Amino acid sequence: KAGVTQTPRYLIKTRGQQVTLSCSPISGHRSVSWYQQTPGQGLQFLFEYFSETQRNKGNFPGRFSGRQFSNSRSEMNVSTLELGDSALYLCASSSQREGSEQFFGPGTRLTVL
Amino acid sequence: EDQVTQSPEALRLQEGESSSLNCSYTVSGLRGLFWYRQDPGKGPEFLFTLYSAGEEKEKERLKATLTKKESFLHITAPKPEDSATYLCAVNSGGYQKVTFGIGTKLQVIP
């Protein structure tokens, strides 16, 4: 069974630009969550999608948004990039069973200059 | 608000020296506690899920246990390849709203 895939793996942008990251979950998984990981803050929850609907949202500004498609693939978008947005962005998928474990992709390393 | 605190932040062990990592949590209603292993520059790798106090799970040199307030990850006779950051996380309901701890960075020296 193929794991969670994320593209691109690395990205360099400048302040003020916008970026779109993509995630393909494990086949059959309909829940996709996004996290931001930085050395000082650890993994911070961004949002979770299930069947194309956002079910949960973390405490991030509106510059961070996402969506999910009918095939469960998900994208997240960050507009008006700031230096502090430099981080590893991780996508995780899980089955629809409540409390089930999440499986993570390799992440996208975003650097904002 | 859910809280997860892991200790120690860093741990250095000699190969074969057993130890335990701690995860203390405060949640409104635990739906699952998870342990992950993360290598530098990679995504977390799932290890265990624990659902209720008294539950234990084992995998090779790792054993995870759960009480009503904390979880332990016991590492028996560790090897250098066990070096990684170990993350603890909790799901307290609200579907997949998961809170992670900062992690324990484990280094095993040959």
Summarize pLDDT for B12-35 with one digit per residue, the tens.
999 999 999 999 999 888 889 999
The rounded distance, in Å, linking the Cα atoms of A108 and A91 is 9
> For A50, which of B41, B89, B95 is closest by C-beta distance?
B95
pLDDT tens sequence across B75-87:
999 999 999 999 9
The rounded distance, in Å, linking the Cα atoms of B5 and B33 is 13
**Which neighbouring-strand residues pair with A82?**
none
**Is B34 close to A101, i.e. CB distance below 8 A?**
yes
Query: What values do phi and psi take at A48, rounded to 5?
Result: -135, 135
**Is B87 close to A43, i.e. CB distance below 8 A?**
yes
pLDDT tens sequence across B35-45:
999 999 899 99
The whole-number pLDDT of residue B107 equals 98
pLDDT tens sequence across A55-107:
889 999 999 999 999 999 999 999 999 999 999 999 999 987 777 899 999 99
pLDDT over 90 at B96, yes or no: no
Note whether B109 and B47 are within 8 A (CB): no
Nearest CA in chain B to A49: B96
**Is A102 close to B41, i.e. CB distance below 8 A?**
no
pLDDT over 70 at A1, yes or no: no
The rounded distance, in Å, linking the Cα atoms of B30 and B90 is 7
> For A43, which of B51, B93, B100 is closest by C-beta distance?
B100
The rounded distance, in Å, linking the Cα atoms of B62 and B76 is 7
